[in-house]
Structure 1
Amino acid sequence: MAAANKQQVDVSDDLNYEIWARIAKTTLTEKGLWDVVENGVPPDPSKVPELAAKIQPEELSKWRDLAVKDMKALQNLQSSLTDSALRKTLYASSAKDVWDLLEKGNNEQAKLRRLEKQFEELSMDEAEQTNSYLDKVRKIAEQLRRLKNGKSDYEVVTKVLGSLSESHEDLATLYESEKRESQSSNELPVYEMLSLALGPVTFYEDMWLLSSGTTNHMSPYLKFFTTLDRRHRAPVKLINGSIIMLKGRGDVKVMTKEGKRKTIKNVLFVPDLDRNVLSLGQLGHLGYIMIMNRDKCILKGQRTEKVFGEAVKEEGGFVLRYQVIEGNFTST
């Protein structure tokens, strides 16, 4: 599954989805694996109580054959990805998950490019009212915000000003009021955990799941924190659109299996989570890179070459296991 096994890697490490998808589908079809990508694999019937009691041996055998095909398809897909695309699929547990995730991302990128072009090319008709044109610009800007490429009110008004002639009055007032509103905004930050859905995999306290779609490190365990700023409170958006609240930010001290102590800084305390999460983005900002080696993922400092940890692929994704040196916090 390692990205290093690819025969050819784009220089920019960007995935050309349209070309990749055609080649991947053809390859999987030739190998007789496309059906599990297209249709997925049902849950293990032996672990479903209402099915386990009456399932026939031949039915269970068919399911196991599908599961083997799915694992082969998953390995084929992930081994063909660029490093950046592979990181986005680390938590995927099936070939269909990988395909759907990349397809959705490509659709969103296409929509983003289309909206960006609309925003740049939008201009005001000669007889159009200022407020009407402003509404059109804001509508596109709001759609861009939903795709995490938002335009501030200040940028919106700047766009409007650039499209108008000198004959329009009240522009300075509009511009300055929007600028002051943008500069004085004190909205809470919104954190995201878009690559993970709560349940159904069981996670234990010593497990830290690597996530490429999570903006920050997070933990639901108050007792883990050695420091905690309870004044830091903000919403956390999940992949299904629901919102949960974080109730603090602080540091967590852990001990590796080699007995070395590490401090994970700026961890968000999110009581309603069911797992500990390490953000690959946050680690990347600190200079750590990810090295894939079959079913293992090594996090190492790009300059220092110090190893942060070695994650192993488990049911829920790539997981680091740390013994936590518990803090003094015992109640919310």
Structure 2
Amino acid sequence: MNGHVPGNLPVLDGKNWSKWSVQMRALFGFQDVYEVVQNEIEEPTASTPDAQRQVLKDLKKKDCKALFFLHQCVDSAHFEKIATATTSKEAWDILAKACSGDGRLKKVKLNTLKRQYELLQMEDNERICDYFTRLFIIVNQMQEYGERFKDQDLVEKVMRTLTPQFDGRVAAIEEARDLSEIKIEQLQASLEAYDLKMNGRSPARLQDQALYASKQKQEKGKHVQAIRLENEDARKKKKKYIRNEAHMAQAKQAKQESDSDSEVEAIVLMTTICNFSNNGDAETWYLDTGCSNHMTCNLNWLVNLGNSRRCTIKFADNSTVKSMGVGNVAFKRSDGSLAIIEKVMYVPDMRYNLMSLGQLLEKGFSAS
């Protein structure tokens, strides 16, 4: 690449001297002109041999090449500072003094960087690679001002300033290795591998994992809501089941009481009719305000008769009769429609048919 100007040259703007100077040294070395930037070139004299003159001529050519690169790699303000320089070394020294200052200024800047270095710590949500980048920036700037570091110094600095999540890894390294033998690059690689392993992510997957975490949060919310609805449905079903069980238990108890002669349910009717030997009108219904249930002595009128509710009926004068079951009776209304009277007790020993006015009113019938 000698004789060819590379693209994307670094440009000095006054704030990036440390980075720019490193890049320029690499560029000078690649172009084979670094030697002339560091050392003055002797001017040939009248007594200089021809062979020496040719060597000095080649060095002068390299010096012009280095000066050309310096002109291309500074901004307008810094170009004005080196515009009158005749050699690359002269231009380099001017830039170094302008950007890094004299001895006193260098000392002040170095002390400031030392303070930043001492206070430097890894932040809670910081990636290990980002922390090493911040560390190397400060270290490189300090080295520009003459500070020197051993690998052990940097290793111990990193080990002291990591976040608590690396405590286990730090303890393992201190137990297994001698810190004086560890290179800072080896420590960085080890900690980055540990960071990726513990967090289960790589730089290429950070965005995908952020989207996945957001989706998982939404799915979790839906799942919790579904569990709440299921629990609510389960509670409703349980209540319904308990009510059904209670009804079944009551029905079972009623059946057992109806089958037992010793435990007979007594239904009290507030009526004075107790003489069943008299001939009554078995085809007529009587409305009774004191009767608690409908009763009939006509078996033919009953439909859906069930004999599970047999019981003893007790009247106001302490006389009793037997109910042999419960059924429904159909009536024809004045308008020709049918009406069903439910839960009519079949009492064959009665001579009358009693209709409970209270039951009719409860069912929505009207009396006139």
Please, what TM-score do these two structures have when normalized by structure 2?
0.27
- Whose RCO is larger (CA < 8 A, sep 6+)? 1
Structure with higher strand content: 1
Structure with higher helix content: 2
Please, what TM-score do these two structures have when normalized by structure 1?
0.30
